[in-house]
Amino acid sequence: MKKFMSLFVSMLVFSAFAYGQKEVTNFAGIWNLEVEKSELGERSRIESMKMTVTQTDKELAFERKAEIEERSDGDGFGGGRRGMARGPGAMGGQAASYDLTGKETIAPGGRGGSAKLKAEMHGATVKLIQKREFEGPMGSVSIKSVETWSLSEDGKTLTVSSETETPRGIRNSKMVFTRAE
């Protein structure tokens, strides 16, 4: 009876240990944006986007490259606007690296500012939080964006839901990516 009880307790302890281990979803891969399935907003000029994600147990990094549509309809977003991609097929990009151990990191931001980056793992999703601060023509500007990444069960679809708070208000979007073969 003592052997049985000892074996039972050992199995119980092992089960509790195994259950307590968090399996981290791996988002690594090359992803193509499905523009027609995404909710990018009326002002979006993205024609296509490719995102490359690398991930280790301690870091998630990505690089996005988008092909941007040229606009010449006088809305203030096309042609000669400084800092914007120009011409058909112009590329716009973004890259970031997040610490997956829960530590906040600081990265250089645009216009001489900085960005605070933090990742929070929640089961099969990861929340990427970015707080940017820089000096604009009207003074100090703060922008906070929160991206929630979730992977489909078959691992072929990545959904990135985003909420961005700017001085002009809150903007939401959803990007749906499929894994490149």
DSSP string across 24-62: PP---EEEEE-GGGSB--TT--EEEEEEEEEE-SSEEEE
Pairing label, strands 139-151, 157-166: antiparallel
Quickly tell me which residue has 């001085």 as its tokens: 167
- What pLDDT, on a 0 to 100 scale, did the predictor assign at position 106? 92
What domains lie within the chain, and their CATH numbers?
28-179 (2.40.128.20)
If residue 19 lies in a helix (H) or strand (E), which one and from where to where?
helix 2-20
Give pLDDT, residue 80: 40
Question: Given 3-state DSSP classes, what are the helix, strand and coil percentages for the chain, each rounded to the nearest 5?
Answer: 15, 50, 35
List the beta bridge partners of residue 151.
Answer: 158
Q: What is the side-by-side strand order in the sheet with 59-68?
A: 90-99, 59-68, 46-55, 29-33, 169-179, 157-166, 139-151, 125-136, 114-122, 105-108
How confident is the model at residue 71, as a pLDDT?
65
Cα→Cα distances 100→27, 35, 104, Å: 12, 28, 9
Residue (of 147, 155, 144) closest to 174 by Cα position: 147
Please state, in angstroms and rounded to a whole number, the distance separating the CA atoms of residues 56 and 107.
Answer: 19
Q: What is the maximum span of the chain, computed from C-alpha positions, in angstroms?
A: 85
Q: What is the pLDDT of residue 170?
A: 95
Q: Give mean pLDDT in consecutive 10-residue pieces for the chain, a chain of 181 residues.
A: 48 41 81 96 89 96 92 50 42 84 86 87 92 88 95 96 94 96 74
The confidence score (pLDDT) of residue 3 equals 55
Q: What pLDDT does residue 2 have?
A: 56
CA distance 66 to 171: 19
